[in-house]
Amino acid sequence: MKTFTNVALSMATAAASFVILPSGASAQSTMAYPEKCKSHGMDMPKTDMSAAGMQMGEMTDYQKASMEGMKNMGMNMMQGMMKKDADVSFVCGMIAHHIGAISMSEAELKYGDNDEAKQMARKVIEAQKKEIEEMSKWVDKEAN
């Protein structure tokens, strides 16, 4: 279990170490991560910009939006993975993963210019929102 915790913390640190950006309109604001998936009292690693491989000034607006979505997804997945029940952990991790997919798709719709890619992004958003709703209902029913 200690190894799993160390690996999970390393993953969260890696996800968070890219950048710390101001929150914008993202999947986080439209699809809430279920309260029952959060691990309260868990200290999440704090990072600063010096850990980033690329400085914010060098990033495009698209890259900044994508990185914000990845940061949020990683933090939520980390919390979901800490659930002791394997089923709850899996579903909570998948909810976070789907929220990340929606965030990436929203960035594509805002910054992309290819109609085919934008159509794929719309399909992802539609499908992932439906699955998040189903999984969130399951979590409300099954998780303690």
* Burial (Cβ within 10 Å: 0-12, 13-18, ≥19) of residue 56: middle
3-class secondary-structure state, position 46: coil
Yes or no: say if 96 and 33 are a contact pair by the CB < 8 Å rule.
yes
Token pair of 105 as six digits: 């798709």
Instruction: List the pLDDT tens digit at each of the 144 positions of the chain.
Output: 554 444 444 444 333 333 323 334 445 445 789 999 998 765 555 444 334 555 667 899 999 898 888 898 999 999 998 999 999 999 999 999 999 999 999 999 999 999 999 999 999 999 999 999 999 999 999 998
Backbone angles phi, psi at 47, to 5 degrees: -130, 165
pLDDT digits (tens, 9 = 90+) for 83-97: 999 999 999 999 999
pLDDT digits (tens, 9 = 90+) for 10-32: 444 333 333 323 334 445 445 78
